[in-house]
């Protein structure tokens, strides 16, 4: 309803014949915090143009109020196999369900975030966009799908929304971005678009000799940056490509490494551009399609014409494979480089507490190495950290705040932490914080990895916290020490009675780590336990967990 709206100048009539309301609801669904910060930014911009804006997480929004909303912006990311973020799940389900209301008076627009190297690129945004139209809504502006480099398209989307709301002229300043679309004031000057060069203080392999794994513990200095973070936040890191891969590419393409290349407003050598400005390791569908257009190569055009073939081709292959397989490449290096994705930042869950380590940030990074299509492949950032980065070197970093993975506000609240492998990271931060602040709540850690002897990450720290009572209880699952696999969820099952008791007493549950297998299985195990110990049926048990999630007592940081 628009009774409280200030006077509106001449505005075009909408479908219902009434003037456009100056009320705007912005709902976000965010896992890592990007959609959330973009939603807030959009909110500030719209407020600057006289709108009364409500910005809310989808999980905090009462679905029954949807009917009353006149103007709705949705900012939502997509995860895994086209899945909504946790805090979008319930709302996504509601909107797609039979109880969703008719929305003939609704005007809406969707900003979708995603990663074009995944098959179901921006799927959740596409879902909402399609469904809101089906329910009778009218688009304010077309949906915008953003790849990893989302800042510019997101700002353009806000502008197009404003323009359509007949606010266009005043919204665009000379730099092309809306005036209020700047980073919040009173924070560090360093951000995603202006990263801080953090010095490496320490770099240690946490795994013992003979392990199948290499897990880097990095300590970085934030001195002089003004950057701050809370347990549960992540650190964004801009990596550089492996110089060997860069040389291989230059050779393969017969390019002059010293050729000057334009990257945005900068001019750098081709070698430098390939080293630190562009992604050369991942093939995405849009990239291969652009490459086909650029080269006009018949075989490549044929490949991109069939979605299934293209999908099979890009799996496990990189840019070097592409340029080898579809030679020769005509045209300039500049043209070729301009189809590449800008080097995206990698996000790592922070494994330290700032309270306990002033002006430092610690990371726990698993080195990624595997074979595919006859060549050894290496993770860009993890291998930079494991193999090339030395103490004294610097890394461009920024803080990615994550409101969706936070210690309980009340230090007396019990916490249950489930974090096998590098999923241990934020829980080291939680423990350091609780120790440093003298929090009294109980805490229970489930950790797992392959072998006790080589892979018990931060073992002595956990043992000390247990001894000092900072940690109440710890259960570990070493999957490859016995004849049968044991995982964290088996330890949870063995402790189901006590675990359910903790839940009943108000404990919060946190999962961090692998999404596809671990987090999924642990989620189902939680439902099993609630079903069994609570004497509920499956649906009721799922609802119990869903309610915990709604109340922020069940939080996940999964990847």
Size of the site for ligand 2AM (CB under 6 A): 14
Q: Which is nearer to ligand 2AM, 479 or 550 (CB)?
A: 479
Helix axes 89-96, 538-550, angle to 10 degrees: 120
Antiparallel, parallel or unpaired: β 415-418 and 394-400 = unpaired
Residue closer to ligand 2AM by CB (options 183, 474) is: 474
Contact (Cβ atoms closer than 8 angstroms) between residue 492 and residue 499: yes
Q: What is the smallest separation between the CB atom of 348 and ligand 2AM, expressed in angstroms?
A: 16
CB of 331 to ligand 2AM, least distance (A): 44
CA torsion through residues 464, 466, 468, 470, sign: positive
Could you say which of 462, 487, 502, 510 contacts ligand 2AM (CB under 6 A)? 487
Q: Which is nearer to ligand 2AM, 270 or 418 (CB)?
A: 418
Structural tokens at position 514:
């692998």
Pick from 254, 263, 426: which is nearest to 330 by CA? 254
Among 29, 84, 396, 421, binds ligand 2AM (CB under 6 A): 421
CB nearer to ligand 2AM: pick between 420 and 426: 420
Closer to ligand 2AM at the Cβ: 108 or 456?
A: 456
Peptide bond into 494 cis (omega under 30): no
Query: Which stretch in 75-83, 145-153, 411-419, 484-492 sits in contact with ligand 2AM by CB under 6 A?
Result: 484-492
List the structure tokens of 455: 């892979």
E strand intervals along 283-368: 346-349, 360-366
99: Cβ contacts below 8 Å, ≥ 6 apart: none
Closest to ligand 2AM by CB, 393 or 521: 521
Q: What is the DSSP string of 38-52?
A: HHHHHHHHHHTTT-E
Q: Report 114-133 residues binding ligand 2AM (CB under 6 A).
A: none
3-class SS of residue 223: coil
Beta bridge partners of 271: none
Whether 255 contacts 323, CB under 8 Å: no
Stretch that binds ligand 2AM, among 35-43, 325-333, 402-410, 479-487 (CB under 6 A): 479-487
Q: Per-residue contact track with ligand 2AM, 506 to 535, x per CB under 6 A?
A: -----------xx--x--------------
Q: Which is nearer to ligand 2AM, 192 or 520 (CB)?
A: 520
The pair of structure tokens assigned to 546 is 């869903």
Q: How far is the CB of 375 from ligand 2AM (least distance, A)?
A: 23
CB 74 within 8 A of CB 128: yes
Residue closer to ligand 2AM, measured from CB, 373 or 517 = 517
Judge whether 137 and 25 are in contact, CB under 8 Å: no
Kindly indicate which of the ranges 462-470, 477-485, 501-509, 547-555 contains the residues binding ligand 2AM, using the contact rule CB under 6 A.
477-485
Q: Does 488 bind ligand 2AM (CB under 6 A)?
A: yes
Toward ligand 2AM, which CB reaches closer, 449 or 531? 449
Burial class (CB in 10 A: 0-12, 13-18, 19+), 112: buried
Minimum Å gap between C-beta 455 and ligand 2AM is 7
Q: Which of residues 434-453 bind ligand 2AM (CB under 6 A)?
A: 448-450
Collapsing DSSP to helix, strand or coil, 348 comes out as strand
Interface positions with ligand 2AM (CB under 6 A) = 420-421, 448-450, 479-480, 485, 487-489, 517-518, 521
């Amino acid at each position: 309803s628009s009774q409280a709206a200030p006077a509106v100048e001449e505005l075009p009539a909408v479908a219902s014949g009434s003037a456009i309301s100056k009320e705007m609801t912005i709902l976000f669904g965010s896992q890592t915090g990007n959609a959330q910060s973009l939603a807030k930014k959009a909110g500030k911009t719209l407020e600057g143009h006289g709108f009364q804006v409500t910005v809310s997480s989808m999980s905090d929004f009462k679905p029954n109020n949807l009917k009353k909303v006149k103007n709705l912006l949705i900012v939502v990311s997509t995860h895994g196999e086209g899945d909504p973020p946790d805090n979008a799940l319930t709302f996504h389900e509601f909107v797609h369900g039979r109880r969703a209301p008719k929305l003939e008076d609704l005007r809406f627009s969707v900003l979708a975030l995603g990663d074009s190297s995944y098959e179901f690129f921006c799927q959740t945004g596409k879902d909402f966009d399609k469904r809101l139209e089906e329910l009778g809504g009218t688009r304010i502006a077309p949906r915008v799908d953003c790849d990893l480099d989302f800042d510019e398209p997101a700002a353009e989307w806000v502008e197009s929304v404003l323009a359509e709301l007949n606010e266009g002229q005043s919204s665009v300043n000379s730099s092309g971005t809306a005036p209020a679309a700047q980073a919040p004031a009173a924070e560090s000057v360093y951000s995603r678009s202006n990263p801080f060069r953090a010095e490496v203080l320490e770099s240690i392999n946490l795994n013992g000799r003979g392990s199948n794994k290499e897990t880097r513990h990095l300590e970085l200095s934030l001195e002089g940056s003004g950057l701050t973070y809370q347990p549960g936040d992540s650190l964004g890191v801009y990596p550089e490509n492996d110089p060997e891969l860069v040389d291989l590419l230059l050779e393969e393409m017969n390019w002059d490494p010293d050729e000057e290349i334009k990257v945005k407003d900068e001019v750098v050598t081709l070698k430098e551009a390939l080293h630190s400005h562009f992604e050369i390791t991942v093939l995405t569908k849009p990239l291969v399609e652009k490459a086909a257009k650029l080269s006009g190569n018949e075989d490549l055009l044929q490949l991109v014409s069939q979605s299934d073939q293209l999908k099979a081709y890009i799996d496990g292959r990189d840019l070097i494979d592409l340029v080898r397989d579809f030679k020769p490449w005509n045209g300039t290096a500049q043209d070729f480089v301009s189809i590449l994705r800008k080097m995206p930042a990698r996000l790592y869950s922070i494994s330290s507490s700032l309270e306990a380590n002033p002006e430092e940030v610690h990371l726990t990074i698993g080195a990624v190495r595997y074979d595919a299509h006859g060549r050894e492949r290496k993770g860009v950032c993890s291998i930079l950290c494991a193999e090339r980065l030395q103490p004294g070197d610097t890394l461009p970093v920024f803080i990615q705040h994550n409101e969706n993975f936070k210690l309980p506000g009340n230090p007396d609240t019990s916490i249950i932490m489930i974090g096998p492998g590098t999923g241990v990271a934020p829980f080291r931060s939680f423990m350091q914080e609780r120790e440093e602040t003298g929090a009294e709540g109980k805490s229970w850690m489930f950790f797992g990895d392959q072998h006790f002897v080589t892979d018990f990450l931060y073992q002595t720290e956990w043992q000390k916290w247990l001894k000092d009572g900072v940690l109440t209880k710890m259960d570990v699952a070493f999957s490859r020490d016995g004849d049968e696999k044991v995982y964290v969820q088996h330890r949870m099952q063995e402790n189901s009675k006590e675990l359910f008791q903790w839940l009943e007493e108000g404990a919060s549950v946190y999962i961090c780590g692998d999404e596809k297998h671990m987090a999924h299985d642990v989620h189902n195990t939680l439902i099993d336990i609630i079903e069994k110990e609570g004497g509920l049926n499956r649906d009721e048990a799922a609802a119990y967990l869903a309610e915990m999630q709604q109340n922020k007592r069940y939080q996940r940081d999964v990847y």
